[in-house]
Structure 1
């Protein structure tokens, strides 16, 4: 009589659990605060501190480029000559007063070199800002995907605990009927405790992942659920690109800025020229006359040789970085494309494995209840089912990581289009 009552209840409970296990989206979702969608978070990139820092760095470089166009300030000089001397020059009665204005001329291309160098540095800063934007977007996508994966692993751990408890109840019933040894019941209870500990660990990892997402995205309130799935999205196939990766563009701009600085340092070795015009007044006669002069520095001791050598060294370093960046970007792109293709295949294989594991567990459960399959075989198929479900989550995380790497190289947000 006990067996007749237990089997229908166990079969009904098994059907509900397997249905929830096979379709996590159908499981009951607690009423918790959900995150904004991934697109909403990407749209708020400009408000994140890292992006504000990148914007400020670019604004500083743009301001320096604007300042480089300013002309040097003139100087005003007032002189009084022939005062407090002897004879007729005693006191200030025969003093001569001169008021003049001197203006640096910046000849020999000094001003144009300074402007071009500052403009090149601003262009490089703009590309670095764009690079920072997509790096931040990748970091946000990774935090979003990790939070979603942690939530799924928590749900899987809860379902695994439910299955383990149900199997333990079945084993306990068979132990009471004398169909299984007492040792099997002890082993089943041990598996329940291990599954319960795994659930606690998964809960802690889930809470930590959502806390990191809330911190990175600057969410007003802590969240514990994902609004729209990112793991289930299929990235678009990478297409052929004619332009250089963003990292190579940054290295090229930095080389151009370093080359402009070489010109600036070479211009600094040339003489500085200033022109002056003034008015002189003779005290004894009351006459006035104009004064005109030119001032020229003589590069006798300081020819800026150290500055020129340093600029050339920085130019060589920028050239080396560009060469290395080209090779590295090409290798990274090939690696990211291969990883994306492999992770997509892995995801399809994992989904097929989940379906096979679910069917194997269903059949083993039926055989166990009929007494044709041992508890060890049931435990093995249950462990395979749990492992296959977690492997499907791991495959999706790997696909997201590959898409993040490829998006960073292409200069776009993950799962978005190039701009």
Structure 2
């Protein structure tokens, strides 16, 4: 008896669920409201995940700050009155001198452009950060979904084990009633049945916990679905590691650090621009009440030795920029290691799953059938039958584990590369991520 599992290799943190929907008939998906597909889970998460919504407000705040950065120095209106309410000739306002003037600052060194570049770099970093966070969130969702499908497959296997235990118990009881089997074998078969029942109950509870974890991704505490829908063992094609690593070098995680480098560059420009002294100017009209005459006034102010006071800021900005370069190198090395581990593990798991499914399980199913027939005819012992059953169940469990590992590894690969392994069968990253930002 070949186990039928529901899981499919086309899962990815962002795109594989959409492939899942394209391979399943939409009519079935719409008619069964109690089931959850990965596509539906991803769409709900993109629409309602609280963590992803936070980035929208962050970007709104940065856009508002950019508007402030683009402003030129403000104009100030000054009114100054001198020589009034004094003594002697200056008593009252007869000898007062009133000045009405405008004043402002002339920024030198490209300070306004530096501020705008800094604001733009921060917005760019926030946008890439949103994409990286979206990939990370959907990657975690995909992993939980795959584990939930694996639990359903394990539950199905446990129910199969329970059915076998019930059948074996009935066979042992029949043989014991004929005096062909000792009472101890009946007791052992009953204990095996209890263990199978406990296993089923444990997996049912585990599946309920996983459904709650899934609902959390779109802000709900009570799942509105009863089961997960998917399929298994269509692993698809695989790219070479060099191709995958080339894709990973343009992923959002590295783009965040690239944006960080642009921010540091802008900080260096701002620090150097601050070393150029701004000119403060003032111009107005002065009226002399004593004579009734008026005159223009003008002034300019230049700070002295401001360049020397700014050297420390420039050195600090340069140091921060150099630190980003080393952080990028470290991230590339870590990315290479994680990607190779996932690529190698996926390849190994696919090979193990294929060999187990096509060779080991059919042989063990035949062995169990022959052992069962021999046990019923008295040619095999009870222990031989239990050993054959456990070996078959262990191989089916290994098959589930290998498939799960392959799918989770593939989801990690696609999260790190920000692209599906099969580009023709999935949506592009830009299309999907833009839907999360609207």
TM-score interval, smaller chain: 0.7 to 0.9
Cα 1:251–1:376 shift into 2, 3 Å: same
Distance 2:343 2:226 in 1: 32
Contact 1:58–1:129 under 8 Å retained in 2 = no
Contact 1:245–1:409 under 8 Å retained in 2 = no
Q: 1:101-144: CA deviations, max 9, x gaps?
A: 21222111111111112211211221111111111111111121
Larger RCO, structures 1/2 (Cα 8 Å, 6+ apart):
2
Cα 1:270–1:46 shift into 2, 3 Å: farther
Contact 2:108–2:278 under 8 Å retained in 1 = yes
> Which of residues 380, 393, 397 in structure 2 aligns to 1:390?
397
Aligned pairs for 1:278-289 within 5 A: 278-289=284-295
Aligned to 1:98, the other structure's residue is in SS state strand
Q: 1:60-89: CA deviations, max 9, x gaps?
A: 333333332122322221110122333322
Contact 1:99–1:280 under 8 Å retained in 2 = yes
Cα 1:40–1:262 shift into 2, 3 Å: same
Which residue of structure 2 lines up, in the alignment, with residue 36 of structure 1?
36
Aligned to 1:162, the other structure's residue is in SS state helix
Which residue of structure 1 lines up, in the alignment, with residue 12 of structure 2?
none
Higher mean C-alpha displacement, 33-42 vs 100-109: 33-42
Q: CA deviation at 1:236?
A: 4.4
Aligned pairs for 1:76-155 within 5 A: 76-155=77-156
> Which of residues 268, 272, 296 in structure 2 aligns to 1:266?
272
Which residue of structure 2 lines up, in the alignment, with residue 225 of structure 1?
227
Which residue of structure 2 lines up, in the alignment, with residue 6 of structure 1?
none
Contact 1:161–1:192 under 8 Å retained in 2 = yes
Higher mean C-alpha displacement, 241-250 vs 276-285: 241-250
Distance 1:176 1:355 in 2: 33
Q: 1:321-368: CA deviations, max 9, x gaps?
A: 011112222222222222222222122123223333222222221221
* 2:417 is equivalent to residue 404 of structure 1: no
Cα 1:228–1:108 shift into 2, 3 Å: same
Contact 2:237–2:421 under 8 Å retained in 1 = no
Distance 2:91 2:319 in 1: 60
Distance 1:315 1:207 in 2: 49
Aligned to 1:22, the other structure's residue is in SS state coil
Which residue of structure 2 lines up, in the alignment, with residue 308 of structure 1?
314
Distance 1:245 1:295 in 2: 49
TM-score normalised by the chain length of structure 2: 0.83
Contact 1:33–1:225 under 8 Å retained in 2 = no
Contact 1:211–1:222 under 8 Å retained in 2 = no
Which residue of structure 1 lines up, in the alignment, with residue 209 of structure 2?
208
Distance 1:165 1:238 in 2: 46
Higher mean C-alpha displacement, 364-373 vs 61-70: 61-70
Aligned pairs for 1:181-200 within 5 A: 181-200=182-201
Distance 2:61 2:380 in 1: 73
Aligned to 2:228, the other structure's residue is in SS state coil
* 2:3 is equivalent to residue 22 of structure 1: yes
CA root-mean-square deviation: 2.5
Aligned to 2:227, the other structure's residue is in SS state coil
Q: CA deviation at 1:382?
A: 0.9
Contact 1:32–1:223 under 8 Å retained in 2 = no
Contact 1:104–1:274 under 8 Å retained in 2 = yes
Distance 1:128 1:343 in 2: 32
Cα 1:137–1:71 shift into 2, 3 Å: same
Q: CA deviation at 1:306?
A: 4.1
Which residue of structure 1 lines up, in the alignment, with residue 368 of structure 2?
361
Q: 1:215-247: CA deviations, max 9, x gaps?
A: 223457432201333x44425423626552322
What is the aligned residue count?
394
Distance 2:95 2:250 in 1: 75
Higher mean C-alpha displacement, 120-129 vs 261-270: 261-270
Aligned to 1:291, the other structure's residue is in SS state strand
Which residue of structure 1 lines up, in the alignment, with residue 63 of structure 2?
62
TM-score normalised by the chain length of structure 1: 0.86
Contact 2:162–2:197 under 8 Å retained in 1 = yes
Q: 1:185-218: CA deviations, max 9, x gaps?
A: 1111111111111112111111111111122234
Contact 2:48–2:218 under 8 Å retained in 1 = no
Cα 1:289–1:347 shift into 2, 3 Å: farther
